[in-house]
Amino acid sequence: MARRKLAGLRVLVTGASQGIGRALVVAAAARGAKVLAAARSPELLAQLATEVRAANGIIETVPADVTKPEDRQAMVDAAVKHFGGLDVLVNNAGIGATGHFMDSDPEVLRAIFETNFFGLSETTRVFLPLLKQGVTPAIVNISSVVGKRALPARSLYSSSKFAVAGFSEAIRAELAKDGIDVIVVSPGLTQTNFSQNMLEQKAKMQLDHLRGMTSDQVAQAVLRAMEKGTVDVTLTLQGKLLVLVNRYFPWFVDWKAKKTVRGLFADEIAERKKAQSAASPPK
């Protein structure tokens, strides 16, 4: 994997208006990158551009929804118009949901995959011709710790991130002949408004995102991975521990997850057993 200097590189960040994406734009511009920020909100993009330019950073913006073919092409056109091409594509746009699979709406699962997987993969597809001509080109896919080990009540989001991991591994080998690095960064809990923007929130146990990394810390970790050419980065101590334990003792993680769910649904389990006992014929 290639080492790279960020100064002067042309970088596109999707999902750039808030959270990790916004922090990435600010941090990359501060290091001298030429940044193209893409997101659905023109208003938030305008505020971001004002902030970056006030700090003497180089930024252009393009309102775009990664799920729409015409918007993906608009990002390509903007990269060519403003910077003459692209060196690094950061696929950051993503949405989520919590709750048990049996209680979820099928359309929510499809919506999550449209953004987190199909939006990511098709954005990658349209940018490959530009990246092949880029300087130390790279694709950076922002995944999640639950894309390495699934957790209960996160099945929809987790499955989309597992798809991202598999896609990334495959194209990493395919694109080696073109000199394009494929980097996957998997944040753990992060202090963003991601949880407030979820399509559904039905989980009985909420995770405390305030105990996680800040968006700025995640952004710095992503930029370090880009500079060093590190192919796979897992963030937060808890995230690293989860992945490590799951690698060697997956049965323990399964047991712990099942125990947690049974505890949350203890009353429901007790009622079901009571009903089953009452329905059983006398011996």
Confidence at 168, pLDDT banded by 50, 70, 90 = very high
Count the neighbouring beta carbons within 10 Å of the beta carbon of residue 280. Answer: 8
Interval 62-70 mean pLDDT: 98
In a domain, 87, yes or no: yes
Residue type, 33: A
In this predicted structure, what is the pLDDT of residue 164?
Answer: 97
Position with higher pLDDT, 2 vs 76? 76
pLDDT at site 132 = 98
Instruction: Name which of 140-144, 187-191, 243-247, 267-271 the model is least confident about.
Output: 267-271
Share of the chain above pLDDT 90, in %: 74
Is 70 exceeded by the pLDDT of residue 50? yes
Identify the pLDDT of residue 283. Answer: 59
| pLDDT for the residue numbered 210 | 47
- Choose between 14 and 189: higher pLDDT: 14
- Average pLDDT of the residues in 220-244: 94
| 206 and 262 housed in the same domain | no
How many independent structural domains does the chain possess? 2
What's the CA gap between 75 and 142, in Å, rounded?
18
Same domain, 278 and 151: no
In a shared domain, residues 62 and 133: yes
In a domain, 5, yes or no: no
Within a domain: residue 158?
A: yes
Report d(CA 73, CA 178) in Å as an integer.
22
Q: Are strands 181-186 and 138-142 parallel, antiparallel or unpaired?
A: parallel
Least-confidence region, from 50-64, 95-109, 112-126, 259-273: 259-273
pLDDT score, position 202: 54
Show the domain range for 96. 10-248
Residues 261 and 241 in one domain: no
pLDDT confidence of residue 209: 46
In the annotation, is 248 catalytic?
no
Q: In terms of domains, do 126 and 204 share one?
A: yes
* Active-site residue identified among 83, 113, 117, 157: 157
Q: Within this chain, do residues 199 and 277 fall inside the same structural domain, yes or no?
A: no
Q: pLDDT averaged over the chain?
A: 90
Identify whether 4 is part of a domain: no
CA 169, chain centre distance (Å): 15
69 falls within a domain: yes
- Asked if the model's pLDDT at residue 271 lies above 80, the reply is no
Indicate whether 240 belongs to any domain: yes
Could you tell me if 185 and 260 lie in one domain? no
What pLDDT is recorded for position 198? 56
**Residues 120 and 211 grouped into a single domain:** yes
Residue 205 covered by a domain? yes
Q: Both 268 and 214 in a single domain? A: no
Per-residue confidence (pLDDT) for residue 208, from 0 to 100: 45
Both 48 and 179 in one domain: the answer is: yes
Task: Report the Cα–Cα distance between both ends of the chain, in Å, rounded.
Answer: 70
Q: What pLDDT score was predicted for residue 278?
A: 73
Q: Looking at the structure, do residues 163 and 277 belong to the same domain, yes or no?
A: no
217 shares its domain with 267: no
Q: Is residue 2 in a domain?
A: no
Domain containing residue 24: CATH number? 3.40.50.720
**How does pLDDT run across 186-220, given as a tens digit for each residue?**
998 776 555 555 555 655 555 544 457 899 999 99
